[in-house]
């Protein structure tokens, strides 16, 4: 197997040299300063190469390594090479690759690295810095379906910086709504969920209930929103409503509902609840 992979890598390198040559029969060095060359190689080795395979296949790494060997200044090659390590939890290997991608193309990869720090490694201070820098580079943009302020709010929530988190979530909502406040129904349900969690942690029951209910109005099967609404009613000694929302949370979990975030299978999201926790509360 190792011999065949080595031969495959050699084939990729030879093919790439031929791809970069200037009409001569002998291989010529790629002009990696040319955007046209970098784009062509990225299409050949990433779009039509690595990304045609599963990230856990050896071909994924071979295509990325071949491209890096040819043109070490293509940021996407480092970012894609890091993906398997991120998924497997090998952050010590992944983050130097992510750092290189950010160094080469900060506009394209700073926010993504911030997302990884926020969700995967729980480096909340580092994530905030990345998202603040990303906001300066590409104002009011999105990463993984959320604004930069959403992630800053999440980080500050976990750090206990509640007043800052509140401002972050307000900015997140403002960006999503734009100039049309009637777009409330289009807000991301997890923006509403985590804003509700923020107020829950702040012991602001009224606002917590309002945002958790708004979340459920968009996504009624959200198990975590149902759970924390139950905990809110437990705090208020309302056993009937507590049990109602706990049962709703359990049913949603059993039916396979969750936070509906793309990477929820690889990382534990803040305040994400388990079926065990729900059952424990039901037994009390």
Supply the pLDDT for residue 30: 78
Decide if 124 is inside a domain: no
pLDDT tens across 225-284, in order? Answer: 999 999 999 999 999 999 999 999 999 999 999 999 999 989 999 999 999 999 999 998
Supply the pLDDT for residue 60: 93
Residue 210 confidence (pLDDT) above 60: yes
Please give the residue range of the domain that contains residue 278. Answer: 205-284
Decide if 98 is inside a domain: yes
Residue 114 confidence (pLDDT) above 50: yes
Decide if 137 is inside a domain: no
State the pLDDT confidence band at 20, using cuts at 50, 70 and 90. low
Residue 23 confidence (pLDDT) above 70: no
DSSP 123: -
Q: Which of 84, 104, 124 marks a domain boundary? A: 104
The residues with which 146 forms a beta bridge, in sequence order, are 143
pLDDT tens across 159-175, in order? Answer: 999 999 999 999 999 99
Supply the pLDDT for residue 14: 45
Which structure tokens are listed for 224? 């975590």
- Alpha-carbon span 226 to 231, nearest angstrom: 9
Decide if 238 is inside a domain: yes
Mean pLDDT of the chain: 90
CATH label of the domain that carries residue 2: 1.25.40
Supply the pLDDT for residue 284: 84
Q: Which of 56, 84, 104 marks a domain boundary? A: 104
Decide if 46 is inside a domain: yes
Which structure tokens are listed for 39? 């784009």
Count of CB atoms situated within 10 Å of the CB of 34: 13
- What is the domain count for the chain? 2
Among 201, 204, 126, 132, residue whose Cα is nearest residue 168: 132
Among 188, 197, 192, residue whose Cα is nearest residue 214: 192
- Alpha-carbon span 82 to 93, nearest angstrom: 8
Q: Please compute the mean of the pLDDT values over residues 74-83 and round it to a whole number.
A: 96
pLDDT tens across 92-112, in order? Answer: 999 999 999 999 999 999 999
Do 243 and 282 contact (CB within 8 A), yes or no?
yes
Supply the pLDDT for residue 135: 98
Residue 1 confidence (pLDDT) above 50: no
Residue 128 confidence (pLDDT) above 50: yes
Supply the pLDDT for residue 31: 86
Supply the pLDDT for residue 161: 98
Decide if 21 is inside a domain: yes
* Predicted structure pTM score: 0.88
Decide if 71 is inside a domain: yes
- The H or E element that residue 147 is part of is strand 146-147
**Cβ-based burial of 185 (10 A; exposed 0-12, middle 13-18, buried ≥19):** exposed
- Alpha-carbon span 10 to 66, nearest angstrom: 9
- Alpha-carbon span 191 to 122, nearest angstrom: 19
State the pLDDT confidence band at 178, using cuts at 50, 70 and 90. confident
Phi, psi (degrees; rounded to nearest 5) at 220: -65, -20
Q: Which of 104, 133, 158 marks a domain boundary? A: 104
Count of CB atoms situated within 10 Å of the CB of 79: 24
Q: Please compute the mean of the pLDDT values over residues 121-137 and round it to a whole number.
A: 98
Decide if 64 is inside a domain: yes
């Amino acid at each position: 197997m190792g011999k065949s992979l080595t031969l495959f890598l050699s084939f990729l390198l030879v093919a790439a040299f031929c791809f970069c040559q200037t009409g001569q029969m002998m291989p010529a060095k790629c002009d990696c300063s040319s955007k046209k060359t970098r784009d062509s190689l990225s299409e050949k080795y990433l779009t039509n190469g690595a990304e045609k395979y599963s990230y856990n296949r050896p071909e994924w790494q071979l295509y990325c390594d071949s491209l890096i060997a040819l043109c070490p200044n293509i940021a996407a090659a480092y970012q894609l090479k890091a993906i398997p390590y991120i998924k497997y939890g090998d952050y010590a290997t992944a983050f130097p690759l992510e750092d290189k991608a950010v160094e080469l193309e900060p506009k394209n990869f700073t926010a993504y690295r911030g997302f990884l720090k926020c969700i995967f490694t729980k480096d909340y201070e580092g994530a905030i810095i990345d998202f603040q820098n990303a906001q300066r580079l590409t104002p009011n943009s999105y990463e993984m379906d959320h604004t930069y302020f959403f992630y800053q709010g999440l980080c500050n929530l976990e750090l206990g910086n509640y007043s800052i988190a509140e401002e972050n979530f307000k900015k997140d909502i403002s960006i999503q709504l734009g100039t049309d406040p009637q777009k409330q129904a289009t807000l991301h349900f997890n923006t509403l969920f985590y804003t509700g969690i923020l107020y829950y942690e702040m012991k602001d029951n009224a606002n917590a209930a309002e945002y958790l209910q708004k979340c459920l109005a968009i996504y009624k099967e959200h198990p975590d929103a149902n759970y924390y609404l139950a905990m809110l009613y437990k705090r208020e000694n309302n056993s009937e409503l507590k049990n109602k929302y706990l049962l709703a949370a359990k049913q949603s979990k059993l039916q396979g509902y969750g936070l509906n975030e793309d990477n929820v299978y690889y990382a534990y999201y803040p305040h994400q609840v388990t079926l065990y926790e729900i059952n424990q509360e039901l037994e009390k």
